[in-house]
Amino acid sequence: MKLSEYVTHDAVGLAGLVARGEVTAAELEAVALEAVAAVNPLVNAVVETWPAEGGETAGPAAAGQAPLAGVPFLIKDVGVTMAGKRSELGSRLAEGLIAPDDSYLMRRFRAAGLATFGRTATPEFAYGITTEPVLYGPTRNPWDLGRSAGGSSGGAAAAVAAGVVPIAHGTDAAGSIRIPASGTGLFGLKPTRGRVSLGPDADEIFNGLAVQGSVSRTVRDSAALLDRMRGPESGDPYFAAEPDRVYAHEVTRDPGRLRVGVVAGAGGGRGTEGPVAAALSRTAELLASLGHEVSEATLDLGVSWAEYVLANARLWTANLVPWLDGLAAATGRTVGLSTVQPETLAGYFWGRRVTGADFVRALGVRNTVARSVGRHFLRYDVLLSPTLPELPPRLGEYAEGVEDLDGAGWIDRIFDRSPFTAVHNVAGTPAMSVPLESDAATGLPVGLQFAAGHGREDTLFRLAGQLERAAPWAHRVPGVWAGSAPLDTGRAPAR
């Protein structure tokens, strides 16, 4: 298979070719590595590759049991472990650390037949919304190499957007799937809390804020993979009821007439840039044209913005402390500026001062927000907002003046720059970024966020499928695209 042909297929399409014997898993692996060689020197999305594991037996006989058999796949360097492979979490503190076992999710990736051949970049400890770690350097946006690909699943998003793989693993604790999906023109869905196991090494991450998912170029790929990822494991603290139908079937079903609440105002008073506000308006018009009931809405968190951000700062930073201490003990290194970045170190020291009572109060705020957000879905089936209030920022922009911030100040910066996404992590509700729009002046993608009530990924997949048919996006590709010949490198990489 030629690279120019490979990039025209999504994961479900590639798996179909393998099942019919038209191509082998080994041939797909070879062309995926060719794609890495073509674009990774420009975008810096993939930090390591290895001989593919998981798709070796893919073929017609495996297709029924493993519907994604033979599809080249990348895992994020956090949130999942693969036995015998490095798990460095984007940090010098964990550099060279080898995972002894597969996590539960990795076992499910293998069972799905995915041919995992590498890992993608993440900001240090996934502790940010831009992927610019000191360990491996910045990941660049394939649409504009001087801009961020987002984070924390920025490496995954850049790899998929540039055509390396059709779908890649991601995690999301405050928007880390949806933010890079928005900035790179992809589909990204954050599942309901408890939908996918985080075990066995963790029962929850950031006290239920973090979930596992993926970024993809088509809706059906994300649905097919979530069908293989979902379901509880023994010891999981949360459980989301299994859906009535597989998600892969929901994508083609009519969503019916949905009540859509449009949330235009960002929390904390953050303004929304003109191109994003215009994209939101056009999307509301599209929904109305499709027969949905569209009206303005205001998202009430049940607490003040300041209280909401403070509670998240307490949860995030307190969780950093045992995480970093454990890694320091495992590697024999010391937690300091030689091993972790300034924003991480600030969070670590701030977290050490969070008291037990502070922590319990933060959990109380989490509960209040979850109950308040949940009540909105008694009135609306779906809430629509921008995914981000702005276009992808320039590389280095988020880190300006970071040395002057304490741990709470860094969290405040993240929430200020991404005010729409984290609420659904706190509430545990599913939300997706859909690449419906782009900025006419720059060509940069603009993602729109849709959220539904607890356990209602089915509603989101139905709506996403309808939107994909009504306003297709697959024809839009970035300048850095593995299928281009010769490759259009866009703007020069930032130095």
Q: What pLDDT is recorded for position 492? A: 34
Is the residue at 6 inside a domain?
no
Is the residue at 490 inside a domain?
no
CA proximity to 33, closest of 68, 66, 73, 75: 73
Is the residue at 271 inside a domain?
yes
**Tokens describing residue 326:** 């454990």
3-state class (DSSP) for residue 137? coil
Bridge-partner residues for 448, per DSSP? 386, 434
Tell me which residues of the chain have a pLDDT lower than 70: 55-65, 485-495
Query: What is the rounded distance in angstroms from the CA atom of residue 32 to the CA atom of residue 163?
Result: 9
CA proximity to 155, closest of 144, 134, 176, 173: 176
Rg, the chain, Cα only? 21
- Model pLDDT for residues 340-393, shown as the tens digit of each residue: 999 999 999 999 999 999 999 999 999 999 999 999 999 999 999 999 999 999
Whether 190 is catalytic: no
CA proximity to 130, closest of 80, 79, 179: 179
Query: What is the rounded distance in angstroms from the CA atom of residue 21 to the CA atom of residue 19?
Result: 5
CA atoms within 13 A on the CB side of 398: 30
φ/ψ (deg, to 5) at 370: -60, -45
Q: What pLDDT is recorded for position 58? A: 54
Is the residue at 457 inside a domain?
yes
Query: What is the rounded distance in angstroms from the CA atom of residue 147 to the CA atom of residue 439?
Result: 14
For 279, the enclosing helix (H) or strand (E) is helix 274-289
- Model pLDDT for residues 252-291, shown as the tens digit of each residue: 999 999 999 999 999 998 999 999 999 999 999 999 999 9
Whether 295 is catalytic: no
Q: What pLDDT is recorded for position 490? A: 46
Place of tokens 């020291």: 349
Is the residue at 398 inside a domain?
yes
Considering 91, 176, 222, 385, which one is annotated as catalytic?
A: 176
**pTM of the full structure:** 0.96
Is the residue at 293 inside a domain?
yes
Is the residue at 459 inside a domain?
yes
334: containing domain: 17-234+246-470
CATH code, domain carrying 213: 3.90.1300.10
- Number of domains forming the structure of the chain: 1
Whether 176 is catalytic: yes
Considering 103, 148, 152, 182, which one is annotated as catalytic?
A: 152
CA distances from 486 to 333, 354, 480 (A): 45, 54, 10
Query: What is the rounded distance in angstroms from the CA atom of residue 21 to the CA atom of residue 60?
Result: 6
Is the residue at 493 inside a domain?
no
